[in-house]
Amino acid sequence: MLSSTPKVLRTSLFEQFSSRSFSSRSSASRAFTPRFPLQRLPARRFYSSEPPKKPSGVKFWPFLAVVIAGSGAYKLLVDQRAEMASLPAPEASKQLPSPTKSTPTFSPDEVTVLFVLGGPGAGKGTQCARLVSDYGFTHLSAGDLLRAEQDRPGSQFGQLIKDYIKDGLIVPMEVTVQLLENAMTETIKTTGNKRFLIDGFPRKMDQAVKFEEAVCPAKLVLFYDCPEDVMEGRLLERGKTSGRADDNAESIRKRFRTFVETSMPVVDYFAKEGRVVKLDATPPPADVYSKTRSELSKRLGI
């Protein structure tokens, strides 16, 4: 296992639901006992032998009023829903890239992509900086790309990003993946460098699948594993000078939970494919980096 986080076996919701439903139906069947034998029930007449009575107009009008009121309410509801459906999504959403692509833009035989994952405070940024310096990797951060893109004049996605953030919506995954692809294309074009470290991405399985289908399969995932208490201590110490609002105990613990729930499945997925290098991030950064270099030499020959 890559994570020290214990895994709990869960019965699927379908199995739980089926079990409860079956047991409740069975117990209900056993508990049912007719109060009267069926053969003793007298035959009922479902018609009347009396002459039909004239309908009362007094009872008809309240019913008609209810029907009219209900019809009016229904029409109002339909009109409101139609109005809501006609509200436009953010205008820039028309710029979304095509969701389908038959082959990745880059071949893993020509381009090297390493995903760098680890909990908050694991030291990913420190290790990436040293890898860039010693191996010539280009360091790409999805978060940095989004922040830079929304303020870049003439940006293809800048207005879209602003609109989604303004409306409290999550920026579409396609945009993030497209920004990474654009950055890789520009780097290769201007520098010829084809080695990339993608830091803090993918955070979820759908991001991983989308990137590998559309852009380039990753060679390896560098997973910096570190106990939560160590990471928390580092972040609290950093918070004394960083000025970051999320460097406080409550926010840090929420970030830990988010990482375990969303990012660890990504690590587990790549581990099953033999593409994860697990690195103990507890020692001093220099020792962690020495181990990182050793693993890259063994796995990639660099």
Residue 20 labelled as part of a binding site: no
Residue 39 labelled as part of a binding site: no
Residue 203 labelled as part of a binding site: yes
Residue 170 labelled as part of a binding site: yes
Residue 30 labelled as part of a binding site: no
Residue 90 labelled as part of a binding site: no
Residue 195 labelled as part of a binding site: no
Residue 262 labelled as part of a binding site: no
Residue 68 labelled as part of a binding site: no
Residue 244 labelled as part of a binding site: yes
Residue 207 labelled as part of a binding site: yes
Residue 202 labelled as part of a binding site: yes
Residue 25 labelled as part of a binding site: no
Residue 171 labelled as part of a binding site: yes
Residue 211 labelled as part of a binding site: no
Residue 201 labelled as part of a binding site: yes
Residue 169 labelled as part of a binding site: yes
H/E/C letters for each residue in the chain? Answer: CCCCCCCCCCCCHHHHHHHHHHHHHHHHHHHCCCCCCHHHCCCCCCCCCCCCCCCCHHHHHHHHHHHHHHHHHHHHHHHHHHHHHCCCCCHHHHHCCCCCCCCCCCCCCCCEEEEEEECCCCCHHHHHHHHHHHHCCEEEEHHHHHHHHHCCCCCCCHHHHHHHHHCCCCCCHHHHHHHHHHHHHHHHHHHCCCEEEEECCCCCHHHHHHHHHHCCCCCEEEEEECCHHHHHHHHHHHHHHHCCCCCCHHHHHHHHHHHHHHHHHHHHHHHHCCCEEEEECCCCHHHHHHHHHHHHHHHHCC
Annotated binding-site residue numbers: 121-126, 147, 169-171, 200-203, 207, 238, 244, 255, 283
Residue ranges for the binding site for a ribonucleoside 5'-phosphate? 147, 169-171, 200-203, 207, 244, 255
Binding site residue list for ATP? 121-126, 238, 283
